[in-house]
């Protein structure tokens, strides 16, 4: 049976709660090394996800002896294991699946960690396609990653499809390049005039799922995949 409604989702900070996972990892790391948790949280903010710089600062300033690569590798595995299960997110995805949607994940990152997050958060059961940049050598916003997911979910010219994610530069921009409707999960942030314009802005991924269910049936957003 051909799926005519498809929703693709980003993983980190969209489907999963990175903030909580990082806080749990920081508490464990602090217990093991003596590095204060508030210092780790501030360093996380300073480096905005640039892990090599984050661990370089820990090594140089705090005096941790492990290599940057070893610190990063251990963090990547453990933080993935600490991603919380969010029942409300699972319920929203389950509703989409029961309504006949085909769901996919399109995420940047290492395959092992990203698949661990999906499993630990109990999300893996809902997705017919999981496309991870580390498997293909290209990263969002490259539209090829989105097209891979659409192909696996049997999209065609009549398919209504959207991408939902927290990053305007990768999720929204990439979705737009792939010809999709786009949903920005803003989480309280404001869009700048220079940022790409999403089809819809919501605050949480649960709100995104709610909007998708109604938007796909609305004449105002009835356009399908663009060529």
Nearest in space to 223 (alpha carbons), one of 146, 161, 178, 148: 161
Residues 110, 60: Cα–Cα separation, whole Å? 26
In the predicted model, is pLDDT for residue 73 greater than 50? yes
Cis peptide preceding 141, ω within 30 of 0: yes
Largest interatomic CA distance in the chain = 60
In the predicted model, is pLDDT for residue 197 greater than 50? yes
Average pLDDT over residues 170-192: 97
DSSP category for residue 139: -
pTM over 0.85: yes
In the predicted model, is pLDDT for residue 224 greater than 70? no
Residue-level pLDDT at 88: 98
Nearest in space to 104 (alpha carbons), one of 80, 86, 131: 131
In the predicted model, is pLDDT for residue 187 greater than 50? yes
pLDDT category of residue 48 using cuts at 50, 70 and 90? confident
Q: What does the domain layout of the chain look like in residue ranges?
A: 5-17+84-221, 18-81
Phi, psi of 122 (to 5 degrees): 60, 35
Helices (H) and strands (E) in the chain, counts: 10, 6
Q: Provide the edge-to-edge strand list for the sheet that holds 200-202.
A: 129-132, 102-107, 5-9, 160-165, 181-185, 200-202
Average pLDDT over residues 68-92: 97
Any idea which architecture 5-17+84-221 has in CATH? 3-Layer(aba) Sandwich (3.40)
Collapsing DSSP to helix, strand or coil, 200 comes out as: strand
Average pLDDT over residues 61-76: 90
């Amino acid at each position: 049976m051909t799926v005519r409604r498809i929703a693709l989702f980003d993983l980190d900070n969209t489907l999963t709660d990175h903030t909580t996972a990082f806080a749990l990892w920081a508490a464990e790391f602090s217990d093991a090394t003596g590095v204060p948790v508030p210092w780790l949280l501030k360093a996380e903010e300073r480096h905005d996800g640039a892990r090599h710089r984050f661990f370089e600062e820990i090594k140089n300033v705090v005096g941790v002896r492990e290599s940057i690569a070893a610190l990063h590798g251990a963090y990547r595995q453990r933080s993935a294991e600490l991603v919380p299960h969010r029942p409300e997110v699972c319920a929203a995805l389950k509703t989409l699946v029961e309504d006949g949607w085909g769901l996919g994940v399109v995420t940047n990152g290492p395959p092992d960690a990203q698949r661990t997050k999906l499993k630990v958060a109990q999300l893996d059961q809902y997705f017919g396609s999981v496309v991870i940049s580390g498997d293909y050598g290209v990263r969002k916003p490259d539209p090829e990653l989105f097209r891979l997911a659409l192909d696996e979910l049997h999209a065609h010219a009549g398919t209504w499809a959207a991408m939902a994610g927290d990053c305007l530069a990768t999720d929204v921009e990439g979705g737009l390049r792939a010809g999709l409707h786009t949903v920005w999960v803003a989480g309280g942030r404001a869009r700048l005039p220079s940022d790409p314009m999403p089809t819809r802005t919501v605050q949480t991924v649960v709100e995104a799922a709610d909007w998708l269910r109604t938007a796909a049936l609305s004449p105002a957003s009835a356009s399908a995949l663009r060529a």
